Amino acid sequence: MSVSNSNPLYYCPLRDKFINLEEADLLVISKKAKGDLPRPGEAVAQANIVLRRAFDEEAEEVADMCRYFWDETEIFCFNQTFEIGECNNLLALAEGEIAGLLAWKKAEEDLIMVVLNVYPEFQGQGIGRMLVREAMELGRKQGCKLMKVATTNDDLPTLAVYQKMGFQLHKLVAGGVAKHHDGEMIGFSGIPIRDEVQLVRKL
């Protein structure tokens, strides 16, 4: 797991600007005020958001999305390397355009969520949650008992999202990410990326 710190990964509603990881910061506001903030674009009607498995001919678009967020198509987590092309790739399409991706793999009775990303222009509309819920359903149908995900110590927004969705902190691989990448990179809000944080949720 490494992350792109050059591409804009988030939207800043106060400046109406797409921002990269280092430019991002946390701000505590009331839940009510959050609803008043501007969105990056027109919200897409729920009926025009479709979730489906990526077709074989979309492999390059899936790889591009992975590279956009992670600078690579191989994701290292849970002590193994996942190649995006070998994962089950679930897409969210907003009015026909690729908006989000959830890549997962089954390992015995676990569903490992390898990648979850929503392009910044589509964030904050519930697409991330929809993808996670759909993956949970797919996992249950395949007999999985646990859903697992790994993130990094700096990624405070994502740690919030997962915990809101019922995941619990499970294991910390202290220094694991820095070791895998031969050094620390700069992550969310300038926090050094060092540790892999694993979370689990019962299915």
Q: Which residues bind ligand COA (CB under 6 A)?
A: 9-10, 116-118, 123-129, 151, 155, 157-158, 160-161, 164
Q: How far is the CB of 108 from ligand COA (least distance, A)?
A: 22
Closest to ligand COA by CB, 119 or 143: 119
Supply the DSSP string of 72-94, one letter for each residue: SSEEEETTEEEEGGGSEEEEEEE
Closest to ligand COA by CB, 32 or 56: 32
Closest to ligand COA by CB, 34 or 143: 34
Alpha-carbon distances, residue 160 vs 1, 12, 70, 167 (angstroms): 19, 18, 20, 10
Q: How far is the CB of 14 from ligand COA (least distance, A)?
A: 12
- Whether residue 127 contacts residue 49, with contact meaning beta carbons closer than 8 Å, is answered with yes
Closest to ligand COA by CB, 127 or 178: 127
Closest to ligand COA by CB, 62 or 127: 127
Q: How far is the CB of 196 from ligand COA (least distance, A)?
A: 11
Find the residue with minimal CB distance to ligand COA: 128
- Whether residue 77 contacts residue 158, with contact meaning beta carbons closer than 8 Å, is answered with no
Q: How far is the CB of 130 from ligand COA (least distance, A)?
A: 7
CA angle, residues 180, 182, 157, in degrees to nearest 5: 60
Q: How far is the CB of 22 from ligand COA (least distance, A)?
A: 13
CB neighbourhood size of 25 (10 A): 12
